[in-house]
Structure 1
Amino acid sequence: MGKLELVSVIVTTYKRANLISRAILSVLSQSYKHYEVLIVDDNPVGCIEKKETQAVVRKFLGQANIRYIDLQGNFGYALARNVGIRESKGKYIAFLDDDDEWLPHKLTEQVKCIQEDSSIGMVYCRSVNLKENGEIYKSNKKKLPSGYIFEKILAQDIIGATSKVLVRKSCIDLIGSLNELTPTRADHDFFLRISKKYKIGLVDEVLVNFYIEGNRLSRDFEKKLAGWKFFFASWEEELKKYPKAMKSQKFKFNYEIGKILFLKGETKKSKQFFKKAIALKPYMLKAYFLLFCSYLNISSNKIGLK
């Protein structure tokens, strides 16, 4: 490994006082010790969750290099992360959601990777989804790309979550921080802007644990729909240049919105989205399955859908 550079770890939290200790402890357990931790509290003033979060965080203050930033309101994850970025002092930025957990060598491996090539703007890694009892819920074993992979990220958000990445601060200074205007998909937009200018590095091993806590897929139909519209409008020109990426994203849009409606029990509405998804990718069996369940009014609980 090269020079020991400071990593700014931005932990954003909202209504998860019961989980944030695990996230913080996973940072304190890192083999790479040259870091600062910025805990950004996005809980509204006066709510019980803020008081509970402050009580938990208070136990860690004074350890390592931990700072607590109170936003005095609920402004959303994009703004919360951006505040952390503005307050950071490190050469590299890492993000950690309050319900996620890093493996002990996460920072060591990613810093090593990003230092090997100055043209790399961001490094990501593999992750695994776990149930609260530690049992594996889902693990992605597909081959993952690296390098100049803008088109691949445009077609499919292969990175997924900010808890998996390490980013050069100078890269963010150039491309800008997270877009606070988009209702959803701010992470994907952020990754796209980075990959358009920089190489993307990969540490090809599991370094992050995601814990499945009930239904992780938002059922807020209007918010999801608005986020997708914002995405298509923002990246319209690039999507036109890459028809395969456009087709892939249109499939994902129709499948995801259909799934949200299905989870809400609105099977009549979900059918039209699944039909459009199938027309785009007739070989995707999961769309056929949910369309079949929609016609039979089978509840999501009966098929174990989350």
Structure 2
Amino acid sequence: MPEITVIIPAYNAEKTILETIKSIQEQTFSNFEIIVINDGSTDDTQLVLEKIKEPRLKIISSQNEGVSAARNKGIKAAQSEYIAFIDADDLWTNDKLELQLAAIKANPDIGVVYSWTSQMDETGKKFHSGARVFIEGNVYQDLLIVNFLENGSTPLMRKECVDEIGGFNVNLKYGEDWEFYIRLAAKYKFAVIPKQQVFYRQSPSSATSKVAVMEQNLLMTLEIIYQSVPSHLQYLKNQTLAALYHYLAATYFAHVKNSSHINIVGQKLWTAISLNPKYLLDTVTIFYIFKWSIMKLFTPQIVKKLISLKN
């Protein structure tokens, strides 16, 4: 019986899924099964998967229902005591499962173990560090404010904990992993492996309209989250909104093409600051204000030539 089930939701992932599965095959811990849910792909994802010679691999093909439904199908099919998710374009370091499993076994009170992430571009050649946090134990309040796990490829979880909270909310389009983690944190303790073990691939978006759709859906996710937050913690909602708008300002920065886009960035940035003035003491926020001010004076194209800035 495998000890860990690795679940991969895959939609049109023919270009990246081989590399993702290779990073799983190269793990120092080997007693696992891999379940790939081909979520109605219209490219050659299925053909690519069928050519993989891996006895631990199981393929579930279904109609396209979205990442949450795909993950839930993987959970239902899982045969193991522990579950890990990885998106079909992300990568792990080879010690990810070994170190996380040791940590979760060392403490029966722990339901979730997460690691640090680095973002990589679409080509997988450029990287920058994500959050480097040491938040452990009862992380519920911290997770309400911001998703410090950052993505869906990070944690290892006890399957009984996942079953207890009922899996992913299939009605959410963005932030579904954040909402899922919060429900876990309401019942179980978290532990961290203070090491970069996940490479999260950032896919470029060509239009600010797509970021606007993301914003709308993240606000909807936030409202759903706070419907179940105890009354004595409702005061945290402004901090959560501030963190969300701070994230949106950074996201909009990546898609600035004209003066109207620059104005949108400013709106999101100042909304974050008005909701949580402590951001004015944050070096990242000060950097954003400087960058925004420069963009107001020059065109985005000139700014990007003058300075190389990571968003």
Alpha-carbon distance in structure 2 between the residues aligned to 1:222 and 1:193: 24
User: Taking structure 1 as the reference length, what is the TM-score of the superposition?
Assistant: 0.85
Task: Report the CA distance shift for 1:231/1:212 in structure 2 as closer, same or farther (over 3 A).
Answer: closer
The answer as to 2:118 corresponding to 1:123 is no
2:218 is matched with 227
2:160 is matched with 170
Alpha-carbon distance in structure 1 between the residues aligned to 2:71 and 2:216: 23
Letter in 2 for 1:203: I
Find the residue that maps to 1:173 and give its secondary structure: helix
| Contact 1:240/1:246 (8 A) holds in 2 | no
1:151 is matched with 141
- Report the Cα offset of residue 252 of structure 1: 2.4
1:91-106 equivalence runs, <5 A? 91-106=81-96
- Report the Cα offset of residue 90 of structure 1: 0.9
- Report the Cα offset of residue 264 of structure 1: 5.4
2:269 is matched with 274
Find the residue that maps to 1:90 and give its secondary structure: coil
1:11 to 4, 8, 11: 8
User: Taking structure 2 as the reference length, what is the TM-score of the superposition?
Assistant: 0.84
Alpha-carbon distance in structure 2 between the residues aligned to 1:291 and 1:212: 22
- Report the Cα offset of residue 165 of structure 1: 0.6
| Contact 1:225/1:257 (8 A) holds in 2 | no
Q: Could you list the runs of 5+ residues in structure 1 that have no partner in the other structure?
A: none
The answer as to 2:97 corresponding to 1:86 is no
Greater Cα shift, 287-296 or 201-210: 287-296
1:254 is matched with 245
1:60 to 52, 64, 80: 52
Task: Report the CA distance shift for 1:240/1:174 in structure 2 as closer, same or farther (over 3 A).
Answer: same
The answer as to 2:138 corresponding to 1:137 is no
Deviation string 1:220-259 (CA, Å, 9 cap, x unpaired) is 4124312323313431563863477433322122234445
Letter in 1 for 2:136: S
- Report the Cα offset of residue 84 of structure 1: 0.7
- Report the Cα offset of residue 95 of structure 1: 0.5
Find the residue that maps to 1:99 and give its secondary structure: coil
Letter in 2 for 1:11: I
- Report the Cα offset of residue 274 of structure 1: 2.2
Q: Percent identity?
A: 22
Cα-Cα RMSD: 2.8
Deviation string 1:97-122 (CA, Å, 9 cap, x unpaired) is 11111111211111111111111111
Task: Report the CA distance shift for 1:270/1:31 in structure 2 as closer, same or farther (over 3 A).
Answer: closer
Task: Report the CA distance shift for 1:151/1:71 in structure 2 as closer, same or farther (over 3 A).
Answer: same
Task: Report the CA distance shift for 1:239/1:258 in structure 2 as closer, same or farther (over 3 A).
Answer: farther
Find the residue that maps to 2:300 and give its secondary structure: coil
1:109 is matched with 99
- Report the Cα offset of residue 159 of structure 1: 0.8
Task: Report the CA distance shift for 1:140/1:222 in structure 2 as closer, same or farther (over 3 A).
Answer: closer
1:147-226 equivalence runs, <5 A? 147-214=137-204, 219-226=210-217
Greater Cα shift, 251-260 or 35-44: 251-260
Alpha-carbon distance in structure 1 between the residues aligned to 2:286 and 2:230: 25
Q: Could you list the runs of 5+ residues in structure 2 that have no partner in the other structure?
A: none
